[in-house]
Amino acid sequence: MAPQSTDVRPRSTPPAEQFAARLLDILGPLPMGAAGLRGQAARGESRMLIDGELVESSSGVRFRNVNPATEEVVGEVADGTAEELDRAIAAARRAQDESSWARDGAFRRHCMEQFVDAMARNLDELRLAMVTELGCPVRLATGVQVDPVVDKVRFMAGLADGWQEATELPEVSAGPMRTLRQIQRTPIGVVGAITPWNIPLDIALAKVTGALAAGNTLVLKPAPDTPWTTALIGRLFAEETDIPAGVLNVVHSSDHALGARLTADPRVDAISFTGSTATGRKVMAAAAEGLKRVHLELGGKSPSVVLDDANLEQVVPLAAALGCFNAGQSCILPSRLLVPVGRLNECLELAAFGMSSVPVGDPFDENVFMGPLVSVAHRDRVLAALASGLAEGGRVVVGGGVHPDFDRGYYVQPTLVADAPEHGSLIQEETFGPIVVVQAYEDLDDAVRVANGTPFGLAGYVWSEDEDRARDVAGRIRAGMIGINGGQFTGGDMPFGGVGASGLGREWGVAGLDEFLEIKTIAAARFS
């Protein structure tokens, strides 16, 4: 797996430092004051929110929170048990059935807007938790992971009181009877939300705000790898809003079996899950026993299609390097780079330059684009998946192992792979690390075929000098979201989700509200 030399910069490409600056510019400028996070010790939040109270585990047990950049234990967090989960579900059920939360849209909006204001006041604490426990670079925290989420939540809060008015349909008559018809939307009930560690604030709040705005109550079971970020959600709601007890509950635990218990509990009416496709299938099967509504946001193997008319020197290094966003730990990343076969060698050289120029290092350094992977276990899984895939064919062009520049932390080299077999695991399976695989295509139809050549359908990317041509290709790619020439497809008002093995349903936007509503038809007879 020895990488080829990339010491010589390809002709027409900028210096590595200039390219690195371009990558960082994508994340946006560091807000005033955020640079001061370096050297601060994250305090975090160790308690769970259950039935309106911030509590420890009944077992008295806590689990460790580890900084993946330093391998140091930075704190401990209450380790929820089946007892805490049962209390949380009971509280959510009671709040749904007995409080006015489902009916009072103005009050829901009030509470959610209080939470938005609380987020804005506590941005530094949220940023610090994100950088410390995920290893997320500070520019990524401010530009993507934390700060933009405030506006997304504000958008969802604005939907909380706007959907309850019934839709009137034309009345129908039959003899002396007239029927007045209307369509109402009602909350589903109690929602169980199971969230991952890689985008912990955004994904959790997509579910929380969609469910709450729709008048539901919620039990959130986040991943244990990034507990502080989601525990802060619970604390801010508890201490800085008027939300009634039981409407929102947050149970963090090192016991992954609690997610299965939440899914199977008959008091829970719907499950919203984000995670791997394999686990999503299990969630869907378990929810089927109770015929629960299921929303799944699952894996991806997103194609980045560089058309033959694109400016390769500008596009290919960037398209490759974007696979290192969040250390490759995101389901929407462009992990497959599709390039014209006639220019394959040139594109490999350009992609290698891009990957080699990604600034990797201390997450608190504002000039770093990529930090460590979240844990030693995940680092080992990524490298094992790479080794297994290479055994099927393919070769490493750049990277391929533990990053040699760091004597501590779970760092992996940005890795570029060529010549992988089309039906091999490096093409067909999500590796969830900074690994980009280059695939060649013959012509436009073949590019679409290759792009659609996996079971996933979450996101896609198209690069071209001709936007109409790019839109045509985008329309033929099976995916829930497409970015053309770097266009951003995420936002509070933009539905997020995929098709095929990438899941069911949407988050954020009006569609993200509708996921948590039922349709009720009412017909009232009148006789003349």
Q: Annotated active-site positions, please?
A: 297, 331
Q: What is the C-alpha to C-alpha distance for residues 229 and 225, in angstroms, rounded to an integer? A: 10
Report in angstroms the alpha-carbon separations of 266 from 190, 222, 271, 288, 318: 10, 20, 11, 11, 48
Q: Are 56 and 34 in contact (CB under 8 A)?
A: no
Q: Measure the N-to-C terminal CA separation of the chain; round to a whole number of Å.
A: 84
Q: Are 211 and 516 in contact (CB under 8 A)?
A: yes
- In sequence order, what are the beta bridge partners of 23? none
Identify the DSSP state of 507.
Answer: B
Report in angstroms the alpha-carbon separations of 84 from 48, 75, 78, 283, 449: 9, 21, 11, 21, 49
Sheet (strand 167-174) strand order: 167-174, 177-187, 517-527
165, HSE (Cβ side, Cα atoms, 13 Å): 6
> Strand ranges (DSSP E) for 196-297?
217-222, 248-250, 270-274, 293-297
Report in angstroms the alpha-carbon separations of 150 from 147, 322, 430: 6, 24, 29
Tokens of 70: 């330093």
